[in-house]
Amino acid sequence: MQISEAESIVMEALWNESPLSAEDVVAVLAGDRQWQEATVKTLLNRLLGKGAIAAEKDGRRYLYRPVLTRDDYVASESKTLLDRLFNGRVAPLVQHFSERKKLSKKDIAELKRLIEDLDR
């Protein structure tokens, strides 16, 4: 399932709290985005069409909740990135960030800990 960047912002709002109405999503995103309600409704309809969210009638409005979990989304996006840019391998990704000095000491320590855990 392909989720656009704008759609992922709406998904984040729903993963953080749901169910939400379209008006609720607009309010949640008001600090970061100045999207009109029509824009949010368009994104919600796209996500409905993709099966990423579900809607339930609540009086005169709909309440939206995620069907796609954040973990499944992250796993899919991560795999797509690795496959497209690094032939599905993690090591070249880490090398890319290390060569560009994008790994903090904390990142390096965490990577070492993860590798040690994998070796056990």
For 56-70, the DSSP string reads EEETTEEEEEESS-H
Per-residue pLDDT in tens (0 to 9) along the chain, 120 residues:
899 999 999 999 999 999 999 999 999 998 888 888 999 999 999 999 999 999 999 999 999 999 999 999 999 999 999 999 999 999 999 899 888 887 889 988 999 999 999 988
What are the start and end residues of each CATH 1.10.4040.10 domain in the chain? 70-119
- Please report the pLDDT score of residue 25 as a whole number: 96
Return the CATH fold of 5-66: Arc Repressor Mutant, subunit A (1.10.10)
Question: Which homologous superfamily does the CATH classification assign to the domain defined by 70-119?
Answer: Penicillinase repressor domain (1.10.4040.10)
Task: Tell me the whole-structure pTM to 2 decimals.
Answer: 0.81
Helix/strand/coil for 34: coil
What are the start and end residues of each CATH 1.10.10.10 domain in the chain? 5-66
- Please report the pLDDT score of residue 98 as a whole number: 86
Q: How far is CA 25 from CA 72, 93, 96, in A?
A: 22, 34, 36
- Please report the pLDDT score of residue 1 as a whole number: 84
| 19 DSSP assignment | S
* Residue 91 CA from chain centroid, whole number: 23
- Please report the pLDDT score of residue 33 as a whole number: 84
Helix/strand/coil for 54: strand
